[in-house]
Amino acid sequence: MPDSIAPPVARRPEEAVELVCQAFSDGDIEAAVAQYEPGAQLHPGAWPVRGDGDLAAVMSSLMGLRLPMSIQIRVMLLADALAVVTCDRRIAGTGPDCEPVQLSGHGFAAIRPQADGTWRIAADAWCLANEIPLDPPAIPLSADGDAVRGEGPGRAASTAHTQMPAGN
């Protein structure tokens, strides 16, 4: 049996986050998980996953989308033996169920240096949520009989409203 190739290691704090993104896009769970310390936590935000708190299970659930991830590092702060990286992540494409997927959000990672000079992630928050379309749908004009001005036909108000003065 041939020797397997070891996953790459991060030599800079932000590189750990970049390597997770690359491994995620390649569908390489081993390389992605290798960027985290033992016991590290990954919180994927609003995206529902199985195995909350179990890094490999969370990562595997997200990789089940079989879509690439892009990342843009925003800020890297270094203080003593801890680095904080903030970034934007985006996963977009057609999922395995042939439905469009557009997830994005800000991310935060706490990254620590290791004894061998590499950097590994201790805690990671992806904060992924469905993207809001660039051009949101238009709000229909009010029609006679609308319960609330501007809600469009057929939508009843759930709370009382104040009548708007004429000319607004």
Where do the domains of the chain lie, and which CATH numbers do they carry? 13-130 (3.10.450.50)
Residue 61 has pLDDT above 50, yes or no: yes
Instruction: Label residue 147 by pLDDT band (50, 70, 90).
Output: low
| Nearest residue to 21 via CA among 77, 79, 85, 78 | 85
Question: What per-residue confidence (pLDDT) applies to 126?
Answer: 87
Specify whether the CB–CB gap between 61 and 51 falls below 8 A: yes
Specify whether the CB–CB gap between 91 and 67 falls below 8 A: yes
Question: What per-residue confidence (pLDDT) applies to 37?
Answer: 94
In angstroms, the CA 8 to CA 35 distance is 8
In angstroms, the CA 28 to CA 17 distance is 14
In angstroms, the CA 96 to CA 101 distance is 10
Instruction: Label residue 44 by pLDDT band (50, 70, 90).
Output: confident
In angstroms, the CA 70 to CA 22 distance is 8
Average pLDDT over all residues of the chain: 80
Tell me the per-residue pLDDT of 30-40, one tens digit each, with 9 for 90 and over.
999 999 999 88
Residue 53 has pLDDT above 60, yes or no: no
Question: What per-residue confidence (pLDDT) applies to 116?
Answer: 95
Tell me the per-residue pLDDT of 67-100, one tens digit each, with 9 for 90 and over.
999 999 999 999 989 999 999 999 999 989 998 9
The residue that leads in pLDDT, 20 or 57, is 20
* Extended beta strands in 114-167, E state: 119-130
What is the biggest distance separating any 2 CA atoms in the chain, rounded to whole angstroms?
A: 81
